[in-house]
Every structure is written in C-alpha cells, then in structure tokens.
C-alpha cells in the first residue's frame, strides 16, 4: 500500500513537471509574437522635367530676316544685321551658330564675303554701308561657315540661363580687292542655331 502511494506521488510529480515545462514553452513561444512595432513614412516628393527652348528674334524660326540684306553691294561696302537669341525654356542651355552662304549663281559671292560677329547690338551706318559695333567674338570665323560662333565643343559654346537673351551683330563685307567676276552675283545667307542642355 505504501509502495503504491509513493508511485502515485512520483507519477503526479512528473505530470506536474511536464505541465510546468509546457507552460514555460508556451510562454516562450507566445513571447516571439508579442514585440511592439511602429512605422513611419516619407512622402510629398515631386520631380518635374525642365526644358530648353531657343528663340531667335522672338520666335522659334525667323524666316523673314532681312536686316542683313544688301542690294547692289560693291567692294568696300558691308551689310549688317542684329539677331536676338533667347533661352525661352526653363533650364540653362548652351548654343552655337553655323552660317551658310548659298550662291544663286556660280560666281561665288558668298565665299568672297568677310564675316564679323560681335556681341554688340549696335548697328552703325556709314554712307550706304552698315557695320557692327564692338569687337569680334573670340570664336568668330572669317566666312559664313560651320562653327561661325562657338562650336559643338561645350567649352566654346555660349551660355544662356532661363529667360536670358543676348544679341549678335553679323557683318558681311565685300573686300576692296574683290574680283570683277563677282558683278551681278547673288548669295543667300542662313544661320543654324543649335542648343543643348547644360550637363551638371
């Protein structure tokens, strides 16, 4: 009888120990899901794209630029015209200018003209000739040709911030030693302005 009591007590003790271990394990397992959490967010960012928009004489294209025109030019005379260049966009830009003289005949008047470009808006008159005031720009060539002002190389391009404008005065002179074969010749002058964004 006494032996049975001892065995019963021993069995109860093992059950209690197992139950206690179960409670401990259950509490530990439950504890892994009991950490507090919190969160925060950042918002409100907006990115918008800029723009470059090069204007010449108040428009995207000027197809009626006649201030450089000259009828019956003779050796020693010159024609001049002012071009206003504006950055009408929202981002800074650089630009350069190509000039071309295409002859309406085969006499080569365009190639004979000597070109000067200044950054001065003043066009002066002397007799029937027109000239540009100021010194020639550093990258100005001596003929209507590629890279008349600046070049595709960024370092030599002219810069304009948004809303800014500048004037270029273009002068074309027929040298005093021009050949007699240039009489009754005609040439058409055009300019191509190329703008690029400024890469930071």
13 vs 15: CA distance, rounded Å: 5
* Residue 143 dihedral angles phi and psi, to the nearest 5°: -150, 165
% pLDDT > 90, the chain:
69
The mean pLDDT of 169-197, rounded to a whole number, is 95
Say if residue 5 is exposed, middle or buried (CB neighbours under 10 Å; 0-12, 13-18, 19+). exposed
The answer to whether the CB of 77 falls within 8 A of the CB of 178 is: no
pLDDT tens digits, one per residue of 5-53: 554 555 555 555 444 545 444 445 555 567 899 999 999 998 888 899 9
Hey, which bits of 33-77 come out as E strands?
54-56
**Alpha carbon separation from 87 to 84, 94, 176 (Å, rounded):** 10, 9, 38
pLDDT for position 2: 53
Range with lowest mean pLDDT among 44-48, 173-177, 189-193: 44-48
Range with lowest mean pLDDT among 6-15, 53-62, 133-142: 6-15
Which of 73, 71, 95 is closest to 83 using CA atoms? Answer: 95
Residues 6+ apart with CB under 8 A from 102: 110, 187, 188, 190
Residue with the larger pLDDT of the pair 150 and 199: 150
pLDDT tens digits, one per residue of 81-112: 999 999 999 999 999 999 999 999 999 999 99
**CATH placement of domain 54-197:** 2.60.40
The answer to whether the CB of 87 falls within 8 A of the CB of 53 is: yes
pTM: 0.77
pLDDT for position 139: 76
% pLDDT > 70, the chain:
83
Residue with the larger pLDDT of the pair 198 and 159: 159
The answer to whether the CB of 82 falls within 8 A of the CB of 169 is: yes
């Amino acid at each position: 009888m006494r032996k049975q009591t001892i065995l019963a007590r021993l069995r109860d003790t093992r059950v209690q120990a197992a139950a206690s271990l179960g409670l401990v394990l259950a509490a530990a397992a439950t504890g892994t899901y009991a950490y507090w959490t919190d969160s925060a967010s950042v918002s409100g960012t907006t990115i918008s794209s800029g723009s470059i928009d090069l204007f010449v004489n108040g428009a995207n294209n000027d197809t009626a630029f006649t201030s450089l025109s000259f009828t019956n030019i003779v050796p020693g005379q010159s024609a001049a015209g002012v071009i206003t260049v504006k950055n009408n966009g929202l981002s800074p830009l650089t630009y350069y200018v190509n000039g071309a003289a295409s002859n309406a005949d085969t006499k080569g008047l365009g190639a004979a003209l000597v070109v000067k470009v200044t950054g001065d808006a003043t066009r002066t008159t002397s007799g029937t000739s027109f000239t540009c005031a100021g010194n020639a720009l550093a990258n100005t060539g001596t003929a209507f040709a590629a890279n008349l002002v600046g070049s595709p190389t960024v370092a030599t391009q002219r810069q304009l911030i948004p809303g800014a404008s500048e004037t270029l005065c273009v002068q074309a002179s027929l040298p005093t030693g021009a050949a007699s074969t240039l009489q009754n010749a005609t040439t058409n002058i055009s300019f191509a302005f190329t703008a690029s964004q400024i890469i930071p």
